[in-house]
Structure 1
Amino acid sequence: DEKGLSQWEGDPGIDFGGVISNSPIHHGFDYYFGVSASLDMAPYVFVRNDRFTALPKQQQPAVKFPHFVRKGPRADDFVIADVLDRLTEEAIAFIDDAAERDAPFLLYVPLTGPHKPTQPHERFRGKTSLGEYGDFVHQVDSTVGRILAALDANQVAENTVVIYTSDNGSYMFRYDDPQRTDHVDDDAIQGFRSDRHRANGPFRGTKADIYEAGHHVPFFVRWPKKLEPGRVCDSTICLTDVYASLAELFGADLAENEAEDSCSFLPMLDDPSHVRPAAVVHHSVNGSFAIRDGQWKLILTSGSGGREQPAGKPFDGQVQLYDMASDSGESTNLAEDHPEVVERLTKQLEDFRQSGRSVRRK
């Protein structure tokens, strides 16, 4: 079958020998190498530009957590534990080529780890005292180090801006009992935390929740030519701010209908006390919204909006208000104590919704 093994549960079939009509090269990228989804999702085959690199001719069986993968088609050359290495090698080759041509470049490397499947390469197993997940995080550290070393080796590190961050907080647990409602503090049902790895630190909730653990992530910027290392900025930004920041960095003007939720964070690189001029809006997996402005975070649902129980429903008539300056763990709901703040932030969020943007261009 020259189309490859294209059938799996719930899928009508894909022509793996055909052209992909909606790949990153159709959205502004000149070149792409990677996978089609999260590494636990089929099909298990690499994509280069607008084509699959091989025909998946075998069936990957489902694997349980924490090595979790879903059933689906897999190519012979696709080995889960080798994917991080393959992506790293491709990234380094891209840097080498750009440096040889003395060409400016944008390299976006969305790593497949330490997201599940938790399958560290054999050479990293047992390297930490934090179990498989700790070993996997160690492998990710090594991966980033290799990419940074490639910048150094090509003598382009000095004026290359490196941003290292995450798209969400850690999942950090597994459900052993769906009736258990507290999966944040009970180590007995924490698949990742049982090995003394508390990925979300002191924050409430988990990935997909509206609480801090779902959204509060590290954000590192390295730019040797401009930035003194070791500086810390506690101001709130949003990942949407990368767009406006790069536009300012390159001197590109943004239209009024462009990057509607993006503020440049470049002023914070010069002055860590600088405050984002617009409120930040974010939402959970079930569509519950929060808006944060200064010390205040208003959540427009009665629950987590995600995995922590009770989840609540979006705009269910109840709200939560937290003073993030004194209560980053979101333990005390101050909505009844500060109705004026609730009213102001609720109106602000509605104004954003009506206008279709949270940031105005001057």
Structure 2
Amino acid sequence: MTLFRTRTFSEIIFSIAFFVGIGFALSGWISKPAASPPNVVLFFIDDMGYGDLSCNGASGYTTANLDRMAAEGTRFTSFLAAQAVCSASRAALLTGCYPNRLGISGAFGPNSPIGLNPDEETIAELLKEKGYATGIFGKWHLGSQKAFLPQQQGFDDYFGVPYSHDMWPLHPNQAKANYPPLYLIEGNMPTKEVKTLDDASQLTPAITERAVGFIRKHKKEPFFLYVPHPLPHVPLAASSRFRGKSGAGLLGDVMLELDWSVGQILQELKQQGLDKNTIVIFTSDNGPWLNYGNHAGSAGGFREGKGTSFEGGHRVPCIIRWPGVVPAGRVCNKLLTTMDILPTLSKLTGARLPKKSIDGVDMLALLKGDDTLNPRDHFYYYYRQNSLEAVRKGDWKLVFAHPGRTYEGFAPGVDGKPGPTTESHDFTQALYDLRRDPGERYDVREQNPEIVAVLEKLAEDARADLGDDLQKRTGKNVRPAGRIEK
């Protein structure tokens, strides 16, 4: 019996080819580089209303770059800021929490002893752990004391203003407010003073230049670029390149310049070959400051504006673009919020979630095109110190009786001077069907008592969790803001 036989020439060739092929396959499998983590660019515009983009209905000027971004990505039409005021809204964006959970409300003034607690974890801190370079260029407004500045909250680089640029000696109520000089901050140090409107007109170009430089510097590593533009918050100012160019007044000029800024950053991503591996998010901190009249933007037909719990205060523009991942030319009307950005970015970058509880929900699967999903079930509208003013579930919104700001019935201001308004209007309880009545004009409580009961139950859950000043209740899961003892 023969244990071995001589193989034919063809069998030998086949064996060699087979093992060589396996070797190449294994070699390719072993040496194939892992896909690089996506870069993140996050625009957060100050006081831009839902109706301030031409793709959302703005007239008199065209936001061509943002319209193109919407055509190349997804436009969200029911996207809410967490609170309709500066500091609170920014805290929610960066931490994924309702701001009142963090002990934060309103807009911090210069030299405020309060800021975002350093114990809270931001998007920048989470992505930095994953090897991301992190930079912010624009308005911070989460505490101007050094302990609260961006480089103490996970950002490698910072250039911009520490709070709203109307908190300066040229404020219309300066005699009453007694604001100190406003300085640009570089890292942790104040640099150039913003003294005049001409100085303010350089904010958008300077921020854009720094953002573009950041992309160039970090093009070979993953990065998180946060661009919170201070404009179109008043006082309005446009550089000479755009002043008078829109044909729609100074507000139109400012919008064109902001649109240009977005275009410059998108162009730089393409030039550096980063376009297809970068998710770009564009949104706003709250609705327009309507009593500034022709220097205020548009709420797009929604009721009221900044500083209110109606849709005009919370409903903000949102466009998300990521070629090949986020569907192009899509419109999504699912309920989402700025708080949902943090858990979504954590999921897509592989970063962990914060150690403390958050309120944002992961919307990544919806973002990628699964329109069968409804990641967010409900939303709480808080304002003032910690007052629950409304609750929304799906398209149903129950507004509670509360004192609040109204712009209705007052003549708006002109050319940078605010018109009158009131902070103590008495709103009554009302139920709105936002699908049929997005302007919140028709109370349908009597026709829908079962819906009212469901929303009242949600409100009770909110009060137990977060509290409610209107009912003099303290939430069991509220955390303290950061505080510097004077």
Scaled to the shorter chain, the TM-score interval is: 0.7 to 0.9
Whole-angstrom CA distance in 2 between matches of 1:108 and 1:12 = 23
User: Which residue in the other structure is 2:378 paired with?
Assistant: 279
Is the counterpart of residue 148 in structure 1 residue 266 in structure 2?
A: yes
Q: Which amino acid aligns with 2:366?
A: M
User: Which residue in the other structure is 2:201 paired with?
Assistant: 81
Where 1:46 maps in the other structure, the secondary structure is strand
CA shift in 2, pair 1:79/1:23, >3 Å: same
Where 1:247 maps in the other structure, the secondary structure is helix
Offset at residue 248 of structure 1 (A): 1.2
Offset at residue 307 of structure 1 (A): 3.0
User: Which residue in the other structure is 1:289 paired with?
Assistant: 389
Whole-angstrom CA distance in 2 between matches of 1:91 and 1:11 = 25
User: Which residue in the other structure is 1:45 paired with?
Assistant: 183
Post-superposition CA distance 1:73-101 (Å, at most 9, x none):
xxxxx8111111111111111110001xx
Post-superposition CA distance 1:287-330 (Å, at most 9, x none):
45221101201111256x3233676679x8x4111001110011
Offset at residue 273 of structure 1 (A): 4.3
Whole-angstrom CA distance in 2 between matches of 1:239 and 1:233 = 15
Q: Which amino acid aligns with 1:267?
A: A
Where 2:183 maps in the other structure, the secondary structure is coil
Contact 1:247 1:254 in 2 (8 A): yes
Offset at residue 132 of structure 1 (A): 1.0
The structure number with the bigger radius of gyration is 2
User: Which residue in the other structure is 1:26 paired with?
Assistant: 152
Offset at residue 140 of structure 1 (A): 0.7
Instruction: Calculate the aligned-residue CA RMSD, in Å.
Output: 2.8
Whole-angstrom CA distance in 1 between matches of 2:259 and 2:148 = 31
Where 1:124 maps in the other structure, the secondary structure is coil
Offset at residue 223 of structure 1 (A): 0.4
Offset at residue 37 of structure 1 (A): 0.6
Contact 1:285 1:306 in 2 (8 A): no
Where 2:226 maps in the other structure, the secondary structure is coil
TM-score, length-scaled by structure 1? 0.75
User: Which residue in the other structure is 1:134 paired with?
Assistant: 252
Post-superposition CA distance 1:182-232 (Å, at most 9, x none):
xxxxxxxx3347xxxx61121111111111111111111010131232111
How many equivalent pairs are there? Answer: 301
User: Which residue in the other structure is 2:455 paired with?
Assistant: 345
CA shift in 2, pair 1:313/1:252, >3 Å: farther
Whole-angstrom CA distance in 2 between matches of 1:290 and 1:44 = 36
Q: Which amino acid aligns with 1:25?
A: Q
Unmatched segments (≥5 aa) in structure 1: 1-9, 14-18, 62-66, 68-77, 175-189
Contact 1:210 1:306 in 2 (8 A): no
Is the counterpart of residue 335 in structure 1 residue 445 in structure 2?
A: yes
Contact 1:301 1:313 in 2 (8 A): no
Please show how residues 231-310 of structure 1 align to structure 2 within 5 Å: 231-254=330-353, 257-259=356-358, 261-269=359-367, 270-285=369-384, 287-302=387-402, 305-308=404-407
Unmatched segments (≥5 aa) in structure 2: 1-108, 113-144, 169-180, 409-421, 468-474, 476-486
Q: Which amino acid aligns with 1:296?
A: W
Whole-angstrom CA distance in 2 between matches of 1:117 and 1:41 = 10
Q: Which amino acid aligns with 2:191?
A: T
User: Which residue in the other structure is 1:186 paired with?
Assistant: none
The percent identity for this pair of structures is: 33
Please show how residues 92-103 of structure 1 align to structure 2 within 5 Å: 92-99=212-219, 102-103=220-221
Whole-angstrom CA distance in 2 between matches of 1:239 and 1:275 = 15
User: Which residue in the other structure is 1:108 paired with?
Assistant: 226
CA shift in 2, pair 1:93/1:109, >3 Å: same
Contact 2:302 2:438 in 1 (8 A): yes
Contact 2:377 2:394 in 1 (8 A): no
Q: Which amino acid aligns with 1:46?
A: L
Bigger strand share: 2
Whole-angstrom CA distance in 2 between matches of 1:255 and 1:211 = 30
Bigger helix share: 2
User: Which residue in the other structure is 1:187 paired with?
Assistant: none
User: Which residue in the other structure is 2:10 paired with?
Assistant: none
